[in-house]
Amino acid sequence: MKLIEIPKEFHSDATGEPFDRCVSCGRDLRDPSVHYFIEKAVRNYSRHRTTDTIFEYAICFDCYMEVHKSLSEESRERIDAYFLRNVNMLARIRLLGETATPDMDRWLSRCLIKGVDRCETSEYQIMCECLGDRMLLTFAPYLVSAEAMDEIAGLLSNRTLDALNGFYDDFIGMPPELLPLLKDQPHLIL
């Protein structure tokens, strides 16, 4: 498994620095033994060729597992099946394996599910997996367009949506302005 420096795109847009705290438990993410995920949602303003970050956070693996447990089994199975059906894993691994020096454009230029160019979707989410100050190159990082996020939202049961919203309410240290953005919408980190 390859480890690389965390690219700027996955730094916090709020601070311009790498994420250093888990949004939920506050754990220090610079500790090289800490495994965590970063998620960002971005809105495209194609006419102005600019983007705006809607929300961003880093969450450690332990806290992520808490979120994951709150999903109903039914929702989890549907999401797994959706990814299996829509993502050509082999083609992706081949594409990513071709480059000796990882070029983030290749990993993030298109929606993992729909193949649509990142510039041609109204919104997208990106996620990656990190270990301390390094990013892991696995299946992630990847980008998912608004169109695919809507489909993923449709796979979640009401019970799961309620549980997720409850979890966000309980997020300790979650900045209050982030809460309304996180609720009632799907996330890549499920």
Q: Which residues bind Zn ion (CB under 5 A)?
A: 22, 24-25, 27, 60, 63
Cβ proximity to Zn ion, 96 vs 174, nearer residue: 174
| Closest CB to Zn ion among residues 60, 156 | 60
Q: Report in angstroms how near the CB of residue 104 gets to Zn ion at its nearest.
A: 25
In the three-class reduction of DSSP (H, G, I as helix; E, B as strand; rest coil), residue 135 is classed as strand
Q: What separation in angstroms does the CA of 32 have from each of 21, 22, 60, 84?
A: 13, 14, 12, 31
Decide whether 63 or 126 has the Cβ nearer to Zn ion.
63
CB 152 within 8 A of CB 124: no
Closer of 24 and 125 to Zn ion (Cβ)? 24
Task: Report the residue number, 63 or 148, with the smaller CB distance to Zn ion.
Answer: 63
The position carrying tokens 């500790």 is: 31
Task: Provide the minimum distance between the beta carbon of 113 and Zn ion in the complex, in angstroms, as a whole number.
Answer: 27
Whether 132 contacts 33, CB under 8 Å: yes
Measure the CA dihedral 45/156/165/10, to 10°. Answer: -40
**Minimal distance, residue 111 CB to Zn ion, in Å:** 28
Alpha helices in the chain (DSSP H): 61-69, 73-86, 89-97, 104-108, 146-153, 158-170, 179-182
User: Rounded to the nearest whole angstrom, what is the least distance from the CB of residue 6 to Zn ion in the complex?
Assistant: 18
Residue 78: CB minimum distance to Zn ion, A:
26
Structure tokens at 10: 């996955």
